[in-house]
Amino acid sequence: MKIFSGSSNKPLAQKIAKALKIRLSKLEIHIFPDGEKRVRVIDKVVDEDCVVVQSASTFADINYMELFFIVDGLKRSGAKSVTAVIPYLGYQRQDHVFREGEAVSLEVVIKTLEAAGADKVITFDLHSIKIPEFFKIPLIHLSALELFAEKIKKIDGTDAFLVSPDMGGIRRIKVLSEMLNNMPYATIEKNRDLKSGKIEVSEIHGRVGKVAFVVDDMISTGNTIAAGAKLLKKKGADDIFVFATHPVFSGNASKILQESSVKKVFVTDTIEIPEEKQFPKLEVLSVAEIIAKSLSS
């Protein structure tokens, strides 16, 4: 097996290679003055099973194009198979037509990836359970919930409960609750204005305990978490811990999270967090071992 890394998350690719006890193979990625990229596979890949690690985080368009070129370069160089490890599958929130006339962007991305020659995709904690239906090639859908369960078990949580910050996350919460001896859970009612993106949290369904573990698939602006935490505090929670797989962290998310009433924010390294977006309440858990295990099975 040969592992290649795109530009979006080299630290994770390196950790995966280390866990598999192989070195990263070489690629040349040249950016022309107008921003176009030229990708060239340096290592020999004839009849090899190849893996490309590329997260489709900000800017998703640029990272996806680079991934398509790497997959194409590998196939043209004789690779037997190409597995695309896309820890964060960008555009996953555009998985259906919300309002008349909209594009289903995620489907376009998947079709292009398949046309470029990808044979398999490995990803993490998808936003909706319907997304796998878009794939014609095999999709391995991994989850960070086991990492979260381990961490939650180590936090002293008398009168603890899980919280889904919106109704859409309830399936995730139920799975985690089972991993934690049926820990009770509550759900926040959240509404988002589709045009402005503004969110409103109104109510909490379920009993509010003292230690809240809020679990989400991703944090983008941080507004969902900040608003949810404010409501949880108002309803009587003392300590609030947040667990989210994908640290998208757009705009002022880091500042919003640091200044919110949450005690700690746990995320994973599906997306590399630049230094300027890190903050004291943040702790990053690695998914590298989970990916390495999946690649070697």
Catalytic residues: 190
- Please report how close the Cβ of residue 41 comes to ligand R5P at its closest, in angstroms: 35
Interface with ligand R5P includes 5 (CB under 6 A)? no
- Please report how close the Cβ of residue 96 comes to ligand R5P at its closest, in angstroms: 13
Interface with ligand R5P includes 228 (CB under 6 A)? no
Residue 250 or 296 having the CB closest to ligand R5P: 250
Question: What is the rounded distance in angstroms from the CA atom of residue 114 to the CA atom of residue 116?
Answer: 5
- Please report how close the Cβ of residue 82 comes to ligand R5P at its closest, in angstroms: 29
Interface with ligand R5P includes 218 (CB under 6 A)? yes
Question: What is the rounded distance in angstroms from the CA atom of residue 222 to the CA atom of residue 233?
Answer: 17
Residue 75 or 127 having the CB closest to ligand R5P: 127
Q: Quick one: which of 12, 31, 175, 148 has its CA closest to 86? A: 12
Among 8, 55, 57, 223, binds ligand R5P (CB under 6 A): 223
Cβ proximity of 215 and 176 under 8 Å? yes
Residue 24 or 199 having the CB closest to ligand R5P: 199
Q: What is the DSSP-derived secondary structure letter of residue 26?
A: P
Interface with ligand R5P includes 48 (CB under 6 A)? no
Question: What is the rounded distance in angstroms from the CA atom of residue 262 to the CA atom of residue 259?
Answer: 8
Among 6, 87, 209, 222, binds ligand R5P (CB under 6 A): 222
Mask of contacts with ligand R5P, 186-205, x by CB under 6 A? -------------x------
CA atoms within 13 A on the CB side of 259: 7
Question: What is the rounded distance in angstroms from the CA atom of residue 228 to the CA atom of residue 128?
Answer: 21
Grouping H, G, I as helix, E, B as strand and the rest as coil, residue 117 is: coil
Residue 132 or 168 having the CB closest to ligand R5P: 168
Residue bearing tokens 């230690």: 211
- Please report how close the Cβ of residue 178 comes to ligand R5P at its closest, in angstroms: 20
Interface with ligand R5P includes 220 (CB under 6 A)? yes
Segment lying near ligand R5P (by CB under 6 A), choices 44-52, 63-71, 108-116, 212-220: 212-220
Interface with ligand R5P includes 125 (CB under 6 A)? no
C-alpha 62: how far from chain center: 17
> Contacts with ligand R5P: how many residues (CB under 6 A)?
14
- Please report how close the Cβ of residue 214 comes to ligand R5P at its closest, in angstroms: 10
Segment lying near ligand R5P (by CB under 6 A), choices 18-26, 134-142, 165-173, 233-241: 165-173
**Residue 175, number of CB atoms within 10 A of its CB:** 14
- Residue 152's Cβ-count burial label (10 Å; 0-12, 13-18, 19+) is buried
Task: List all residues 6 or more positions away from 271 whose beta carbon is below 8 Å from its beta carbon.
Answer: 9, 55, 57, 87, 88, 246, 247, 248, 249
Residue 48 or 217 having the CB closest to ligand R5P: 217
Interface with ligand R5P includes 95 (CB under 6 A)? no
- Residue 77's Cβ-count burial label (10 Å; 0-12, 13-18, 19+) is middle
- Please report how close the Cβ of residue 97 comes to ligand R5P at its closest, in angstroms: 17
Residues lying near ligand R5P in the complex (CB under 6 A) are found at 165-166, 168-169, 199, 216-224
